[in-house]
């Protein structure tokens, strides 16, 4: 098993030789050994930092598929829905966004009908099949983007 790397020597190898001799020579901590230190400093400066640096990286374009996500602006727990919005994504990029709306006074049934209509609109406009939202994100109402908003009074 190889000897572990000495952190003191790693730091010393980064210094110019003149400074290293002052810090670690007879006037410093006394660890400088001219028979060993020149080679050791060269080893630490020229060694490979990480085996992963030798691994070649490639980029492969992910498959471009359509999916919809729903953003629900509400307090955590069993609290009423404050606002909502949706986005249609193609691969790694959003391509269409439903502007956020407040949900004050909307029943759960009306909200469900509305979200279904949004999916149908995305599907119709882009000639694709969407049956459900791929994901739903709950966002704090303090981040509500709709203006004016009772949670964000105008200053």
Task: Please tell me what DSSP assigns to residue 77.
Answer: T
Does the CA dihedral 127-131-134-138 come out positive or negative? positive
Residues 133 and 114: beta-carbon distance below 8 Å: no
SS3 of 86-123? EEEEECCEEEEEEEEEECCCCCHHHHHHHHHHHHHHHH
pLDDT, position 50: 55
| Residue 145 to residue 126: CA distance in whole angstroms | 26
> What is the rounded average pLDDT for all residues in the chain?
86
| Residue 44 to residue 145: CA distance in whole angstroms | 54
Residues 89 and 69: beta-carbon distance below 8 Å: yes
Taking 80 as the threshold, does the pLDDT of residue 16 lie above it? yes
Model-wide pTM > 0.75:
no
| Residue 73 to residue 140: CA distance in whole angstroms | 5
Give the max Cα distance, the chain: 84
Taking 70 as the threshold, does the pLDDT of residue 48 lie above it? no
**pLDDT, tens digit, for every residue of 84-109?**
999 999 988 999 999 999 998 889 99
Closest listed residue to residue 44, CA positions, set 87, 66, 11: 11
Helix (H, G, I), strand (E, B) or coil at 60: coil
pLDDT, position 155: 53
**pLDDT, tens digit, for every residue of 51-73?**
555 678 888 888 889 999 999 99
Taking 60 as the threshold, does the pLDDT of residue 137 lie above it? yes
Q: In DSSP terms, which residues pair with 70 in a beta bridge?
A: 86, 136
Which of 33-42, 48-57, 125-134 shows the lowest mean pLDDT across its residues? Answer: 48-57
């Amino acid at each position: 098993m190889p000897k572990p790397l000495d952190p003191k020597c790693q730091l010393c190898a980064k210094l110019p030789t003149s400074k290293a001799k002052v810090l670690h020579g007879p006037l410093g901590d006394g660890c400088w050994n001219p028979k060993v230190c020149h080679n050791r400093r060269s080893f630490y400066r020229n060694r490979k930092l990480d085996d992963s640096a030798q691994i070649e990286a490639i980029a492969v374009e992910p498959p471009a598929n359509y999916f919809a996500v729903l953003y629900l602006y509400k307090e955590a727990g069993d609290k009423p829905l404050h606002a909502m919005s949706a986005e249609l994504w193609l691969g790694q990029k959003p391509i269409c966004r439903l502007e956020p709306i407040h949900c004050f006074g909307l029943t759960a049934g009306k909200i469900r009908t509305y979200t279904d209509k949004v999916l149908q609109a995305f599907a119709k406009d882009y000639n694709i099949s969407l049956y459900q939202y791929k994901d739903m994100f709950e966002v704090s109402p303090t981040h509500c983007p709709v203006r004016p908003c009772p949670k964000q009074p105008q200053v």
